[in-house]
Amino acid sequence: MKRSTGLPPATPCSSSRLAGFVLDAFASQNGEAEVAPPPFDPELDQLTVREREVLRLIARGYAYKEIATELNISIKTVESHVSAVLRKLQLSNRHQLTKWATERRLCSCDTSVVRDDDYIKAMTEIRFNVTALDCLDPLELAAFYAQLTGLEVEPLGDFPAEDVVWIELLNEGKPTLGFQKVETFVAPTWPEGPVPQQLHVDFAVSDLDAAEAHALALGAIKADFQPGTTFRVFFDPAGHPFCLVLEQ
């Protein structure tokens, strides 16, 4: 019979964090002084500033969601940066990234980031997060909806604009819109035609006429067919239908 330790089982996240903390603590106990990275490291120097920020947080045990919050970017963008770092360093997983960063003293021991209860809770709750729209140009469509709603587009940092395949609007942790690049995207033909709309987005407004003028000024197109009187249908620059709905 196994003797109970009275401790909760380790999660993958907490295990990776503890590993980083143990490595730092072991180095400190053996009298190793904190040493700054060498002035020139061919592998490190090929990473962008944002990629290094993501790498440091990965090595400190942050989950992707925590990194996104810390850097004010989306989780998808965090994943893109991690993929780029793995490719540039020719590594294959998060554990290898942590080891690589620890060997170069790129991470520091910070027990304040260990929040196992929060992590477990996040992994067991399902919450509505993002509605994603396919398009040919995510940045262009994100800019349209940012101006339509007053929300901001997540900052690119030093991520090349031409490499953006996903971007979101920032909405303070609330459900938001995401925009995904699809090379074969074809705009829907609403209300009839060969390409169904599949989804549309509704926006609540207090004044239909004022909201319509705002949308049209940003490049929206009003649909010829209007099936109701308390809402109006438009097409965004990519051709997705969306509705401005009068608040009741």
Q: What angle do CA 129, 51, 182 make, to 5 degrees?
A: 50
Distance CA 162, CA 160 (A): 5
CATH code that applies to domain 130-181: 3.30.720
Query: Strand pairing of 176-181 and 201-205?
Result: unpaired
- CATH architecture designation of domain 12-124: Orthogonal Bundle (1.10)
Quick one: pLDDT at residue 137? 96
Reply yes or no on whether the pLDDT at 110 is more than 90: no
Q: What angle do CA 188, 225, 244 make, to 5 degrees?
A: 80
Q: Count of CB atoms within 10 A of residue 209's CB?
A: 10
Q: Compute the residue count for the chain.
A: 248
Most confident of 75-84, 134-143, 226-235: 134-143
Q: Helices 49-59 and 75-89, interaxial angle, to 10°?
A: 100
Question: Where are the chain's structural domains?
Answer: 12-124, 130-181, 201-246
- In order, the DSSP letters of 45-59 are HTS-HHHHHHHHHHH
Assess contact for 54 and 71: CB atoms under 8 A: yes
pTM of the model: 0.58
The two tokens of residue 51 are 């990629």
Class for domain 201-246, per CATH?
Answer: alpha beta
Q: What is the mean pLDDT of residues 187-215?
A: 91
Q: For 67-107, how does the pLDDT look when each residue is reduced to its tens digit (9 = 90+)?
A: 888 888 888 888 888 888 888 888 888 778 888 888 877 76
106 burial type by CB count under 10 A (0-12 exposed, 13-18 middle, 19+ buried): middle
